[in-house]
Amino acid sequence: MTVRVLLVDDQEMIRAGLRMVLESQSGVEIVAEADDGDTALELVATVETDVVLMDVRMPRMNGVEATGAITGLDDPPKVLILTTFDLDEYAYDGLRAGASGFLLKDTPVEELATAIRHVHAGDAVVAPSTTRRLLSHFARSRPGQTSAAPTTRLEELTPREHDVLAHIARGLSNSEIADQLGLAEGTVKVHVGRILTKLDLRDRVQAVVLAYETGLIRAGGA
């Protein structure tokens, strides 16, 4: 199966480089390019797209605004945020806006292509070490954003589901959570599915963000 990708970045050289390396990977097709969020939104409406590879710092409509607009469409493509981490203060907001994950701009091409395929298949791309650093960093920079409504939603979870959610927020995979809690990996997968359903979340990325915003996990991983 070929994954149709829309490249969104205001720098033509970066788009050219991404096109070159991604089209060398099997199963990935670059169907269009955009240099800002406005153009990306127009292209999504006219070009069949599976995954949008989205920069965040762009003129006119930035990547966060574009991500929110795209993921709010009926049957939208998936969005992967491109971030430089330390310099990119919008990455966290991109996840909150509905992105299915984030990638560093220096991600090796094989990992980038694999991430695109995973997102297209419905998975969230959450690299554990990067997740912990990124979300801890931006949770510290956004004090006071916890709201009562999401906290109340957490009350719907069982104690075991609370445990699983906390481990998801620390960036652990299902197998790692199973090892930590002494459960079968299949059981963890069931718990994850129930957590997403009860909290009305699309994927693990949204679960991680919610865990930080409600204070279930504190900045620094406490």
Per the CB < 8 A criterion, the answer to whether 49 and 43 are in contact is: yes
Task: Check whether residue 62 and residue 13 sit in a common domain.
Answer: yes
Q: Dump pLDDT digits (tens) for 51-101.
A: 999 998 898 899 999 999 999 999 899 999 887 765 566 777 888 888 888
**pLDDT of the residue at 148:** 47
DSSP code of residue 42: H
Residue 133 lies in a domain: no
Per the CB < 8 A criterion, the answer to whether 169 and 217 are in contact is: yes
- The Cα–Cα gap between 56 and 54 comes to 6
Q: 33 - beta bridge partners?
A: 7
Q: What is the mean pLDDT of residues 102-127?
A: 80
- How many folded domains does the chain comprise? 2
27 pLDDT above the threshold of 50: yes
172 pLDDT above the threshold of 90: no
**CB-side neighbour CA atoms (13 Å) of 217:** 27
Q: What is the mean pLDDT of residues 119-131?
A: 66
Q: What is the mean pLDDT of residues 124-135?
A: 59
222 pLDDT above the threshold of 50: no
Per the CB < 8 A criterion, the answer to whether 44 and 70 are in contact is: yes
Q: What is the mean pLDDT of residues 11-28?
A: 92
Q: What is the largest CA-CA distance in the chain?
A: 50
Q: Dump pLDDT digits (tens) for 188-219.
A: 999 999 999 999 887 787 887 788 778 776 65
Task: Check whether residue 102 and residue 193 sit in a common domain.
Answer: no
Can you give the CATH number for the domain in which 28 is found? 3.40.50.2300
Measured between alpha carbons, how far apart are the two ends of the chain, in Å?
41
Residue 218 lies in a domain: no
Per the CB < 8 A criterion, the answer to whether 95 and 209 are in contact is: yes
Task: Check whether residue 190 and residue 159 sit in a common domain.
Answer: yes
**pLDDT of the residue at 155:** 86
Can you give the CATH number for the domain in which 154 is found? 1.10.10.10
218 alpha carbon, distance to own chain's centre: 19
Task: Check whether residue 116 and residue 156 sit in a common domain.
Answer: no
Name the pLDDT band for 182 (thresholds 50, 70, 90): very high
116 alpha carbon, distance to own chain's centre: 11
Instruction: Please return the burial class of 83, using the count of CB atoms within 10 Å of its CB with bins 0-12, 13-18 and 19+.
Output: buried
Domain boundary pick from 95, 125, 155: 125
Residue 52 lies in a domain: yes
Task: Check whether residue 159 and residue 79 sit in a common domain.
Answer: no
